[in-house]
Amino acid sequence: MTGALALSIALAAPTAAWASAAQCTVEVLTVQGTPVTVSYCITGAPRSTGTQEIIVPVVATYSAPGRSLRFTNELHFLAGEGVSRVLQSLDLSKLGLHGTLHLTLAYIQGLVHVEGALLTPGAITIK
């Protein structure tokens, strides 16, 4: 009986580990001369929708000197791709800046990171 109990605990360990260790990326982008820190933390196991996409639960944090925003979101990526991308827009007025930051987010090897960033108006490439 002790062996069976040990086996069930060992099988449950990956699930428990996932819940306690969020996988995060942190990047600093310079927007209008101001450092903007962008962080995406995966907060749970990605799950299938039954179609050709997977849902990745994340907490996104955006911060500039003196201001910070935090959002819980579910990002929808294509399943079965080496790299899958989604677009997300951020109104920079909430960080004390002007314009909108359009982010291309990539999901690869279990992480979400900023692949590209464009500031509008003006279509200024940030990354």
pLDDT at 80: 85
What does the pLDDT read at residue 71?
Answer: 95
- What average pLDDT score do residues 89-118 get? 96
Domain residue spans in the chain? 22-125
CA 123 to chain centre: 23
DSSP alpha helix (H) spans, the chain: 2-20
Whole-prediction pTM: 0.79
Per-residue pLDDT for 53 more than 60? yes
And the tokens for 119? Answer: 């500031």
The residue type found at 14 is P
pLDDT for 51 equals 85
Could you tell me the sign of the dihedral formed by the alpha carbons of 48, 82, 27, 102, in that order?
negative
Give the span between the Cα atoms of 31 and 38, in whole angstroms: 12
Tell me what pLDDT residue 21 has. Answer: 56
What confidence category does residue 5 fall into, taking pLDDT thresholds of 50, 70 and 90?
A: very low
